[in-house]
Amino acid sequence: MTSIISVAMATYNGADFLEEQLLSLTSQTILPHELWVTDDGSTDATLAVLQRFSAVAPFPVHICRNPQRLGYGRNFLKAASLCTTAYVAFCDQDDVWRNDKLQRITTVVEQMSPDIVVHGGAVVDHALMSLGDRYPDIQSAGWLEPAQLHEDFFWPGYALVMKHDTLVSWGMEDVLADDKRCLNTFAHDRWIFDAVRGGASCYQIPDDLVQYRQHASNHIGFGGISI
């Protein structure tokens, strides 16, 4: 069975951990409909890893190399913009997905059709050993109201699955066309969270469906997240 969810992955010099993440996508109990990868000018072996994977993956893999750097946040939105299904799951290059992540989320979106699904995450070290923390630390399943969300908090992208049409209605294409947005400070997940606070339907799953890996090259890292 194939999910109605596409995977949007942004890469940049991620060869060290990329293969484990890709293998976790192939281990899903419901496979993604497709994987779109947008690479932001990697100079390591990232593209070679992706090309090898695309040749054997059990679902379509599309690799797009940006002609000029977009930066972390816009690179993720570009990958999302290319996806062709109703829902898009953001995927970091260095984490590992639990094998039932897409199955759990597919059940939610088919039954309830929220704008956004957010789930918990287990914080691990570079070797995937638990660091004893959770982020997001979601305690219960159910609907969230925008009024429950405070501005000092946000959901990291690896924990988000979004309706594609909702991203479009929020102006995703305008963000991608805005070359004035700073390469290093615009974050797609912060942008999404702020939009959700303005009004959107959101369902949360408390289970840790991703291992959030901490290592020397994290773009932000657990210690840099405001919670």
What per-residue confidence (pLDDT) applies to 5? Answer: 98
Interatomic CA distance for residues 152 and 2, integer angstroms: 37
Q: Please, which pLDDT band fits residue 222 given cuts at 50, 70 and 90? A: very low
Q: Which two tokens stand for residue 100?
A: 């039932």
Predicted confidence (pLDDT) per residue in 118-131, tens digit: 999 999 999 999 99
Interatomic CA distance for residues 71 and 186, integer angstroms: 8
**Residue 96, pLDDT above cutoff 80:** yes
Task: Please tell me the number of Cα atoms within 13 Å of 27 on its side-chain side.
Answer: 13
Could you give the dihedral angle defined by the CA atoms of residues 74, 75, 78 and 83, in that order, rounded to the nearest 10 degrees? -130
Interatomic CA distance for residues 54 and 22, integer angstroms: 10
What is the chain's mean pLDDT, rounded?
Answer: 90
Interatomic CA distance for residues 195 and 191, integer angstroms: 6
pLDDT average, residue stretch 40-54: 97
Q: What is the amino acid identity at position 85?
A: T
Domain ranges of the chain: 5-215
pLDDT average, residue stretch 110-119: 96
Q: Please, which pLDDT band fits residue 196 given cuts at 50, 70 and 90? A: confident
pLDDT average, residue stretch 207-222: 77
What per-residue confidence (pLDDT) applies to 179? Answer: 76
For the entire predicted model, the pTM comes to 0.91
Task: Please tell me the number of Cα atoms within 13 Å of 37 on its side-chain side.
Answer: 26
What per-residue confidence (pLDDT) applies to 198? Answer: 82
| CA angle at 38 for the pair 208 and 210, rounded to the nearest 5° | 5
How, if at all, do strands 116-124 and 61-65 pair?
Answer: unpaired
DSSP, collapsed to helix, strand or coil, labels residue 1 as coil
Among 64-78, 92-106, 181-195, 198-212, the range scoring the smallest mean pLDDT is 181-195
Predicted confidence (pLDDT) per residue in 17-31, tens digit: 999 999 999 999 999
pLDDT average, residue stretch 74-93: 97
Among the listed residues 134, 116, 115, 114, the one whose alpha carbon sits nearest the alpha carbon of residue 124:
134
pLDDT average, residue stretch 76-101: 97
How, if at all, do strands 61-65 and 35-39 pair?
Answer: parallel
What per-residue confidence (pLDDT) applies to 226? Answer: 38
Query: Burial level of 44, CB count in 10 A (0-12/13-18/19+)?
Result: middle
**Residue 146, pLDDT above cutoff 80:** no
**What is 5-215's CATH superfamily?**
Spore Coat Polysaccharide Biosynthesis Protein SpsA; Chain A (3.90.550.10)
Interatomic CA distance for residues 8 and 192, integer angstroms: 15
What per-residue confidence (pLDDT) applies to 34? Answer: 98
DSSP letter (8 states) at residue 223: G
What per-residue confidence (pLDDT) applies to 219? Answer: 54
Q: What is the amino acid identity at position 169?
A: S
Q: Are residues 36 and 164 in contact, defined by beta-carbon separation less than 8 angstroms? A: no
Predicted confidence (pLDDT) per residue in 165-190, tens digit: 999 999 999 999 887 765 667 899 98
In the chain, the percentage of residues whose pLDDT exceeds 90 is: 77
